[in-house]
């Protein structure tokens, strides 16, 4: 499902002394089946932005149209927003903190039960969701207390709880924060599978662009509530100055290139892979050696 944001402005506590503009005139489009990453430092407005995608927040100005539904329009009914919230699953930061049930089964089944599904339909959804996060659904897993699981496993249970609602779009706020490399790679593999085999649209919220670039084909960089950069990862990575100006760290190899250029080595800005950076540095060193001779 597609998400279109047109000139979105969001002001918290409008018309009060505590009014604060969190988003200013942001426009972007995420197409059906895409994987987009929204990147910015803490306070840049990224969480405010994604909370519009399922109608948790309404625009102060501008429009947000999700799957054809204008989430801020006066005529949009509560029932439509409810339906939208099922189609757009939101996984908050450190979601494992929100697990509450006595067993893994009850935790993942909580949402589907609210939908009034039959017990067998709930069971099927729980099984599917736990399989999708590679926890499996044998009885030993279902009966365990979420609190007896490792941090990485608890996060997967939380993700399964969102997936059990069968959303068409998944918004994940810092999904890999605090996970080690292995758990992170596993999570990314599961997200890739969900996208490929189930056609889910993915929206990742992160402060680390080199991390999400593994998954995302569109990057949107926010700073101070404004959209500063938009494009494919390889287009954005070369612009290290704009990335740094947004308070972010460029991917390390892009930074090597930028620093080398600053020291007078002629390294091409689009060299951001290991092979390209190695070759560009060696070529630049050689060129320089020739000049000196």
Partner 1 sequence: MNQHISSSLPLIDVDRVTYRYPARGGTTPASPAIEAVSLRVAPGEYVALLGHNGSGKSTLARLLNGLLAPEAGHVRVLGHDTRERARRRFVRERVGMIFSDPDSQIIATVVADDVAWGLAARGLPREVIASRVDAALAAVGLTDARGRAPYELSGGQRQRLAIAGVLALEPACIVADEVTSQLDPQARGEILALLRHLNRTRGLGVVAVTHLLEEAALADRVIVLEQGRIALEGAPAAVFADLDRLRALRLVVPEVALLGERLRRVGLAIPPDALSPEALVAALIETEGRPA
Cβ nearer to partner 1, comparing 58 with 184:
184
282 is a contact residue toward partner 1 (CB under 8 A): yes
| Rounded least distance, CB 181 to partner 1, Å | 4
Rounded CA separation 158/137 (Å) = 15
| Rounded least distance, CB 208 to partner 1, Å | 7
Per CB under 8 A, the segment of 27-35, 56-64, 194-202, 285-293 that binds partner 1 is 285-293
134 is a contact residue toward partner 1 (CB under 8 A): no
């189609």: which residue's tokens? 87
Rounded CA separation 12/281 (Å) = 48
Cβ nearer to partner 1, comparing 89 with 250:
250
Rounded CA separation 260/4 (Å) = 39
Residue 24, SS3 per DSSP: strand
Encoded tokens for 186: 């596993």
Q: What region does 90 belong to: left with phi over 0, alpha with psi -120 to 50, or beta?
A: beta
266 is a contact residue toward partner 1 (CB under 8 A): no
């999904």: which residue's tokens? 175
What letter does residue 40 receive in the DSSP assignment? -
- Count Cα atoms within 13 angstroms, Cβ side, for 153: 12
Binding mask 149-178 for partner 1 (x = CB under 8 A): -xxx------------------------xx
Cβ nearer to partner 1, comparing 65 with 285:
285
Positions 183 through 222 that interact with partner 1 (CB under 8 A): 183, 207-208
Encoded tokens for 160: 């399964």
| Residues near partner 1, by CB under 8 A | 41-43, 148, 150-152, 177-183, 207-208, 247-249, 251-253, 255-256, 259-260, 263, 265, 274, 277-278, 281-282, 285, 288-289, 292
């Amino acid at each position: 499902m597609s998400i279109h944001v047109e000139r979105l402005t969001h002001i918290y506590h409008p018309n009060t002394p505590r009014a604060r503009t969190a988003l200013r005139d942001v426009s972007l489009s995420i197409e059906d089946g895409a994987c987009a990453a929204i990147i910015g430092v803490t306070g840049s407005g990224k969480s405010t932005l994604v909370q519009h995608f399922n109608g948790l927040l309404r625009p102060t100005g501008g429009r947000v149209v999700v799957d054809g539904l204008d989430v801020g329009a006066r005529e949009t009914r509560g029932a439509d927003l409810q339906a939208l919230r099922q189609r757009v699953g939101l996984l908050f930061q450190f979601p494992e903190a929100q697990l509450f049930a006595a067993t893994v089964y009850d935790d993942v089944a909580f949402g589907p039960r609210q939908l009034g599904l039959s017990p067998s339909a709930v069971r099927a959804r729980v099984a599917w969701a736990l399989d999708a996060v590679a926890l499996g659904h044998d009885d030993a897993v279902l009966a365990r207390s979420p609190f007896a699981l490792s941090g990485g496993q608890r996060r997967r249970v939380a993700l399964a709880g969102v997936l059990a609602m069968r959303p068409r779009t998944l918004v994940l706020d810092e999904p890999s924060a605090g996970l080690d490399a292995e758990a992170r790679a596993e999570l990314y593999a599961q997200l890739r599978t969900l996208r490929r085999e189930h056609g889910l649209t993915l929206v990742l919220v992160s402060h680390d662009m080199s991390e999400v670039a593994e998954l995302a084909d569109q990057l949107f960089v926010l700073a101070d509530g404004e959209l500063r950069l938009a494009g494919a990862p390889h287009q954005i990575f070369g612009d290290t100055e704009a990335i740094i100006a947004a308070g972010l760290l460029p991917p390390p190899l892009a930074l090597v290139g930028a620093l080398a250029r600053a020291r007078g080595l002629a390294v091409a800005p689009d060299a951001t892979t290991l092979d390209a950076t190695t070759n560009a540095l060696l070529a630049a060193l050689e060129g320089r050696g020739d000049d000196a001779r």
